[in-house]
Amino acid sequence: MAKGEFWNEPIQTGPLPDSNSEFDCIVVGGGPGGAAAASYLAMGGKKVLLIEKGVWPRDKVCGDAVGGKSLGHVKALGVKMRLESTPHFRVTGIVFSSPNGSEVTVPLPEEDVQKMEAGYSLPRQQFDWILFERASELVQENGGSVIQGATVTQVHDEGGVVTGVEIGIGGKRGEKRNYSAPWTIGAGGYQCPVARKVVKELAEEELVDKMHYCGGYREYWDGVKGCEGDAGNIEIHFVDSIIPGYFWLFPLGGGRVNVGIGMVLGLMDKQKKKLRPLQADVIANHPSFKERFANATMVEGTGKGWQLPFGSPRKGEKNQPRRAYAPGALLIGDAASLVDPFSGEGVGNALVSGEIAARHVMENVGGIDYQNELWAALGPELTNSYKMQKMSRRKWLLNWFVGKAGRKPVIQEMMTEMIASKEAQENLHSKWFLVKTLLF
Ligand SMILES: Cc1cc2nc3c(=O)[nH]c(=O)nc-3n(C[C@H](O)[C@H](O)[C@H](O)COP(=O)(O)OP(=O)(O)OC[C@H]3O[C@@H](n4cnc5c(N)ncnc54)[C@H](O)[C@@H]3O)c2cc1C
């Protein structure tokens, strides 16, 4: 570990609370969603129990891009300066390429980044460490407890009302402890035990719909040509052999790059594709990339896959995108299936939903009101992104769109706004605006 790399050190989380202790709210999972929810609750004076099965420092498989939506929360939680004091890559543009090799660069200029908050990329080990440490501090200051290295093994309910959890420490035969609270927030990612309880067991609804789930695979590389420096473009490539998925290069600064690939699980199964060999093939053989990787090396042990539960609207589902509540429980982030179905970004929506859920707990509301507020905040954007994802499965459309965008600055401007500014998303709801921009 290099000197000053505090994010590679352990986090002190205090003593394990006695079994049968009671809290105002239990938060299961200490990723960005759980850390944010626990922090907001503690800032509101609530006694919180935050439980994380990993032990810091810990990694999370991700593309590592932190979009603008996250930055407001990072600031509200009091860690923006700290985050920016650690090494990161300032994103000043996004390169998109289509299967026929056309390219467009969507600029995210510095002054607009300030105004619209476009974001940066940095390893999740770093990002999550900073958020979790802050949450630990706030939770303990407000009379709560933080546990790491313990897995939630059961979610208790009494007559359909979620009442608390059981944790297991030290493997299957290890010690069990129980905790209770009037509210439990499920922030355990795509395998969250609270989501299983709320969606599958209590409501008897479908938890995993493979047409709305994505497989993702990432590796860290050093020395990829064109990815040097601490500011510049991140890259999204719609490569022929990977459609209906995409290949990304997200520099992290200091010459390191997050290289990955993602594809909707249902489509992957149909086409019998596997992500790791697909990525290896692009790196070794694709005319645009083999040159760039010629002198690059993969960081050993970093090739890992994970799943992304998309927030695309489900046909015929009353609770969009998927049920996120039961009496006494709310789901956030990946546990609520909120990842953007086009870009694959989920950190921002985990933070947004963490704040909304914390507010519902503090006001003792929850239920369908929580679901409605969640969908009102995120639904329009998630619906747009789903449309774009479906469009991006068609090679000719991608070739046409990227070719056109490469030649027309007005389309590049529209894309800049779309990515960096929430208000500009409104324009996308206007079909006339889109037709006008694309055709004329
Ligand atoms: C390959 C890939 C690339 C991605 N790229 C990007 C990107 O570039 N930008 C972006 O914004 N998003 C990206 N995402 C999505 C993003 O990683 C997630 O949306 C985000 O991590 C969701 O945060 P969360 O807090 O909801 O869940 P998580 O980050 O998954 O955190 C859940 C936490 O809960 C803990 N946990 C799980 N089960 C239990 C249990 N039983 N008991 C206790 N604790 C438990 C886990 O250890 C974990 O720490 C990517 C995802 C993948 C897989």
Average pLDDT, the chain: 91
The DSSP secondary-structure symbol of 200 reads: I
CA of 399 to the centre of ligand 1 (A): 32
**Partners of 249 in beta bridges:** 235, 259
The pLDDT value given to residue 355: 98
Contacting residues for 343 by C-beta, under 8 A, at least 6 apart: 67, 236, 385
The pLDDT value given to residue 171: 77
144 close to ligand 1 (CB < 6 Angstrom): no
**Partners of 121 in beta bridges:** 65, 89
CA of 247 to the centre of ligand 1 (A): 19
Residue 48 phi/psi, 5° resolution?
A: -115, 145
The pLDDT value given to residue 359: 98
Radius of gyration over alpha carbons of the chain, in Å? 21
Q: Find the mean pLDDT for residues 243-262.
A: 94
CA of 211 to the centre of ligand 1 (A): 19
pLDDT tens digit sequence for 113-156: 455 556 889 999 999 999 999 999 999 999 999 999 999 999 99
Q: What are 288's two structure tokens?
A: 């645009």
Residue 321: asked if its preceding bond is cis (omega within 30°), the reply is yes
Alpha helices in 55-123 (DSSP H): 68-76, 80-84, 110-116
Domains of the chain plus CATH, in order, are 6-65+125-208+311-387 (3.50.50.60), 88-118+210-309 (3.30.9.10), 397-439 (no CATH)
pLDDT tens digit sequence for 404-423: 888 888 887 777 776 665 55
How far apart, in whole angstroms, are the C-alpha atoms of residue 395 and residue 4? 47
Of 108-112, 231-235, 335-339, the range with the lowest mean pLDDT is 108-112
Residue of 122, 132, 339 with the most ligand 1 atoms within 8 Å of its CB, for mutation: 339
Helices 395-407, 409-420: inter-axial angle, 10-degree rounding = 110
The DSSP secondary-structure symbol of 339 reads: B
The DSSP secondary-structure symbol of 120 reads: E
Q: Give the pLDDT band of residue 388 (cuts 50, 70, 90).
A: confident
How far apart, in whole angstroms, are the C-alpha atoms of residue 322 and residue 311? 8
Task: Name the burial class of residue 430, with classes exposed (0-12), middle (13-18) and buried (19+) by CB atoms within 10 angstroms of its CB.
Answer: exposed
134 within 8 A of 120, measured Cβ to Cβ:
no
Contacting residues for 183 by C-beta, under 8 A, at least 6 apart: 24, 25, 26, 328, 329, 330, 361, 366
pLDDT tens digit sequence for 368-378: 999 999 999 99
Question: How many Cβ atoms from other residues are within 10 Å of residue 148's Cβ?
Answer: 19
How far apart, in whole angstroms, are the C-alpha atoms of residue 398 and residue 381? 20
97 close to ligand 1 (CB < 6 Angstrom): no
Taking 80 as the threshold, does the pLDDT of residue 105 lie above it?
yes
Q: What percent of the chain has pLDDT over 70?
A: 92
Q: What are 231's two structure tokens?
A: 């500011």
Residue of 27, 28, 59, 60 with the most ligand 1 atoms within 8 Å of its CB, for mutation: 60
User: What Å distances lie between residue 145 and 21, 61, 97, 240, 320, CA to CA?
Assistant: 10, 27, 48, 50, 33
CA of 127 to the centre of ligand 1 (A): 12
Q: Give the pLDDT band of residue 242 (cuts 50, 70, 90).
A: confident
The helix (H) or strand (E) run that includes residue 106 is: strand 103-107
Q: Which atom of ligand 1 is nearest to the CA of 349?
A: 19
Helix (H, G, I), strand (E, B) or coil at 319: coil
152 close to ligand 1 (CB < 6 Angstrom): yes
Q: Give the pLDDT band of residue 250 (cuts 50, 70, 90).
A: very high
Going by C-alpha positions, the residue among 251, 326, 325, 205 that lies closest to residue 88 is 251
The pLDDT value given to residue 419: 66
> At CB < 8 A and 24+ separation, what contacts does 79-83 make?
79/130, 79/131, 79/134, 82/130, 83/122, 83/126, 83/127, 83/130
